[in-house]
Structure 1
C-alpha cells in the first residue's frame, strides 16, 4: 500500500524487530523463504512500519555484508568448531567466535533500534539468541509481543497407537521420548520464566493468519496455516497489532485491580520537516 493511500496510524514510522528461532528449526531454507516473518513483515509494512528481519539484515554503511546470514552460515562455523587444546584449537574457536560475533552484534543492534519486538517461541524449539533479545528489550522497557503456539505431535500419537501391540517397540518409543525429550504443550503455555519477564497482556497463542490471507495474497499454505486450522488461536497476534495501530494497549495493575496505561509503548512521532535528518521535539504543550 502506497504512502499516499495509507492513512497514518500509531504504528506509522515505528520500528519492529522479529525475534525467534532460526538455528534449530526443521529447515533453515524453508524458514527463510516461507516462515512467519515474511507474512508478519508484509502485514506490518502495510501500516508504515520499518521491519527488522534477521534473515534480511539492513545494509551497514562502510561495512558491506556485515553480519549477513544465509541458510548455510551456521554449518560453516560448526565444521570449524573443535574442543582440541593448544594453539590450533584456540585459533579455531576464536575464528568461530569472530564469525558469529557480527551476526550477534547486528541482531542486538536491531533490537536496540526497534520500538518493540515480536517473538515467536514454540516450547519445542531450542533457542539461545531469542531469550537474549527478549531480555535486552525488556531491560530497555520495550514491549515484547510473544507468540507461544500449542505444541502437539499427531504423528507421535499415530505411532504410539501402531505400536500398542508390540511391547518391545513401544518401550523403545517411550525411551526415545525421554531422551529427546518430547514434551507436548497443548495449552500453549509459555516457558514460565517468560511470564513475569514479558508481562501477562503481551502473550498470544498464534498469529491468526487465516482472516488476512486473501487481503495480503498469502496463497501458499505454510505449516502454521495447518496448525492454526487445527488449533484456532484464542488470542491471535495480528488483530491485536491491527488494533494497536489505532489505540495503545493497556496493562493490568494487580494493586489497583484494573487496566491502566502501559507506558512501555513509547512510539516516537517524527513528523518535523527538517532537511538534515530528524530531531526529537518535546511532548509538552
Structure 2
C-alpha cells in the first residue's frame, strides 16, 4: 500500500544562527533570558530547525570551556585593556585579543555551520560582531533575514515637552542628543550599507510576535511586544519564515524585471525524520 505523501517541510533539519547586538544592549542578563532569540528559537524548533544562539555556546570536543562568554569574562578583558606603550601595554593588548578570539572564533564557526542567519539590527545599538557575521554569511552566499525595527524615543519627546520652559535644561538635552547621538528612525530604514549586502527581499521591520503569542504561550510581555503594539510591523519576519517552511522565496532580478528563484537558499535534503529541532547549548553547567 502506498504511503501517504508527507507534507513538505523545507526547514526540517536546517540550521540557523541568531545574530544581533549583545555587548551594548540595555541589559545583557535581561536580553539573555527574555530577548528575541528565545522566542525565535522556539518558533523555529517546531519546524525542526537546529538553532545556534551566541548566548549559549555549544561545547567543543577536546577544548573545555572554549569560547565561553559571560559578563565576568568581558569585564576581565575591559579591566586589562590599556593604551600604554612598551612591553607591558603590548602584552596586555595581546592577552585581550587572545581571550576574545575564542568567542569570535566560535561565533563565526556557528555562522559557518548554519544554512541561514537571522539578524536583528536596530540602528540605535552599536555593534561590530553582527556586521562581521552578516558579511561572512553573505560571502558564503547564505541568506540573511534582516530585522530593522522602527526607532523612536517617546520619552525623549516627553522630556522635550517637559523642558520647554527650562532654557538651560532644553539646551543640555539638545547637547546630549548631539553627543550620544540620539537619532530616530521611524521608517525602520536599515543602515544603507546593508541594503546591497543583504538583498532587498530579506528585510523586515519587526518580528510579528503578537499573532503567535497565544499559540506558543508567550505570556511574559517583553519590550519588543510593547514596541510592536505601538508600531505594528508592515513586513514581519515570523510569517515569512512560516511560509518559507513550505515554499522557497524568490528574489527580484532587476535585469529581467521579475522575480526569479533565489539559489542562496540551499537546504540539504537528508531525508531526516520529522522531529522537533533544538536549541544548541552547552551540556556543562
- Above 0.5 in TM-score? yes
Alpha-carbon distance in structure 2 between the residues aligned to 1:147 and 1:68: 26
Specify the alignment match of 2:22 in structure 1. Answer: 22
Where relative contact order (Cα < 8 A, 6+ residues apart) is larger, the structure is 2
Specify the alignment match of 2:112 in structure 1. Answer: 112
Alpha-carbon distance in structure 2 between the residues aligned to 1:92 and 1:84: 9
Structure 1 residue 73: deviation in Å?
2.4
Specify the alignment match of 2:94 in structure 1. Answer: 94
Structure 1 residue 61: deviation in Å?
0.8
Structure 1 residue 71: deviation in Å?
3.0
Specify the alignment match of 2:276 in structure 1. Answer: none
Alpha-carbon distance in structure 1 between the residues aligned to 2:71 and 2:237: 27
Structure 1 residue 272: deviation in Å?
7.5
Aligned pairs for 1:208-219 within 5 A: 208-219=208-219
The answer to whether the 8 A contact 1:8-1:48 is kept is no
**Superposition RMSD in Å:** 1.3
Aligned pairs for 1:1-285 within 5 A: 9-271=9-271
Which stretch of structure 1 is more off in the superposition, 21-30 or 80-89? 80-89
Alpha-carbon distance in structure 2 between the residues aligned to 1:85 and 1:71: 27
Residues 74-118 of structure 1: CA distance to partner in whole angstroms, max 9, x if unpaired? 112101101111221111111111110000000000111100000
Alpha-carbon distance in structure 1 between the residues aligned to 2:272 and 2:190: 41
Secondary structure of residue in 2 paired with 1:208: coil
Secondary structure of residue in 1 paired with 2:71: coil
Unaligned runs of 5+ in 2: 1-5, 274-285
Structure 1 residue 135: deviation in Å?
0.5
TM-score by length of 2: 0.92
Secondary structure of residue in 2 paired with 1:72: helix
Specify the alignment match of 2:280 in structure 1. Answer: none
Residues 220-277 of structure 1: CA distance to partner in whole angstroms, max 9, x if unpaired? 110000000000000000000000000000001111111110000000111289xxxx
Structure 1 residue 38: deviation in Å?
0.5
Residues 5-47 of structure 1: CA distance to partner in whole angstroms, max 9, x if unpaired? x966100000000000000000011110111000000000110
Structure 1 residue 65: deviation in Å?
1.6
Residues 143-170 of structure 1: CA distance to partner in whole angstroms, max 9, x if unpaired? 0000000000011000000011111211
The answer to whether the 8 A contact 1:251-1:261 is kept is yes
The answer to whether the 8 A contact 2:8-2:246 is kept is no
